[in-house]
Amino acid sequence: MTDMLSVKGGTKIFYRGTQDERRALDGLDVTLKSGDFCIVIGSNGAGKSSFLNAVSGKLPLDSGKIFIDGQDVTKLSAHRRAQFIARVFQDPMIGTAPTMTIGENMLLAELRGKQRSFAYGLTTSRRARYSKQLAELNLGLENRLDMQVGLLSGGQRQSLSLVMAVSTHPKLLLLDEHTAALDPRTAKLVMDTTVRAVDELKLTTMMVTHNMEHAINYGNRIIMMDAGKVLVDIGPEEKRGITVMDLIDRFHTKSDAIALQGA
């Protein structure tokens, strides 16, 4: 299988040369194979968000390289990388345009990374296609293409964001704690939809989460981050049957070992 994402020596230092200097990413090496569903965990400040932002292009690296499907994207800005990457944010308010209609949001997603023309946007054929895609959510959104997205609930918006993200078959799907702001029932609904879409479309996916249950129940790989590096990398064979306790043990063993080395 080919490498879909590869980060080599990714380093990002905030406030370089001041007292507040902080290494958000410290020589990070990660490779995702095509079809990997990788869960990224780690405590606050471990570098999970920086990792995601570096991949999406929001956070330019100080050094290191990023390849998507073999192509060097290190120098591409965030909006240029959008042709490869779809992203669902933690905050349902950010991932969609609240003052625009459901149909318009779907249109924006369909045109992600493509040349946009002066032609009329929401054509009849597009509306029909969007209705069909939204119908799979079973939320009734398919009949509300002209409704403003701001009027939807958080769960509905997150589900919409997800459909928008996967509808274009991106090379890489980034999920940034995308169920964290939802109540448990809605979170489950969105998570189920996520898994279904990822399986069906064989999307290479990276999901940041704080939810240990999610980490062990979903995906085929777990990356545990600490201090801007990968601390533990658990592959498909090992991940089957792993428990939350195992995860915590692995984390402590490894960080203790590092602490001892330092001492």
Greatest C-alpha distance within the chain? 67
Cα dist from 165 to 10, 96, 111, whole Å: 25, 11, 11
CB closer to another protein, 27 vs 121? 121
Contact region with another protein (CB under 8 A), list: 98-106, 184-192, 203-211, 219-227: 98-106
Q: Which residues from 108-127 bind another protein, rule CB under 8 A?
A: 108-109, 111-114, 116-122
Task: Select from 140, 112, 110 the least CA-distant residue to 159.
Answer: 140
| List of E strands, 143-243 | 172-176, 204-208, 221-226, 229-234
Residue 190 is a binding residue for another protein (CB under 8 A): no
The binder of another protein chosen from 4, 24, 102, 107 (CB under 8 A): 107
Residue 80 is a binding residue for another protein (CB under 8 A): yes
Residue 98 is a binding residue for another protein (CB under 8 A): yes
The binder of another protein chosen from 50, 90, 96, 179 (CB under 8 A): 96
Instruction: List CB contacts of 128: < 8 A, sequence separation 6 or more.
Output: none
Residue 148 is a binding residue for another protein (CB under 8 A): yes
CB closer to another protein, 173 vs 216? 173
Residue 64 is a binding residue for another protein (CB under 8 A): no
Positive or negative: CA dihedral 188, 194, 197, 200: negative
Residue 177 is a binding residue for another protein (CB under 8 A): no
- By the 8 A CB rule, do 76 and 69 touch? no
CB of 89 to another protein, least distance (A): 7
Q: Which residues from 15-34 bind another protein, rule CB under 8 A?
A: none
Instruction: List CB contacts of 137: < 8 A, sequence separation 6 or more.
Output: 159, 160, 163, 193
The token pair that represents 89 in the structure block: 């944010």
Residue 188 is a binding residue for another protein (CB under 8 A): no
Helix (H, G, I), strand (E, B) or coil at 234: strand
Side chain identity at residue 237, one-letter code: E
Residue 181 is a binding residue for another protein (CB under 8 A): no
- By the 8 A CB rule, do 72 and 64 touch? no
Mark residues 43-62: x for contact with another protein by CB under 8 A, - for none: -------------x-x----
The binder of another protein chosen from 4, 28, 54, 82 (CB under 8 A): 82
Phi, psi of 15 (to 5 degrees): 50, 45
Residue 132 is a binding residue for another protein (CB under 8 A): no
| C-alpha span between 3 and 5 (Å, rounded) | 6
CB of 82 to another protein, least distance (A): 3
Compute the CA torsion angle 227, 229, 231, 234 (nearest 10 deg).
140
Residue 89 is a binding residue for another protein (CB under 8 A): yes
The binder of another protein chosen from 18, 19, 44, 99 (CB under 8 A): 99
Residues that bind another protein (CB under 8 A): 56, 58, 77-80, 82-83, 86-87, 89, 93-100, 104, 107-109, 111-114, 116-122, 148
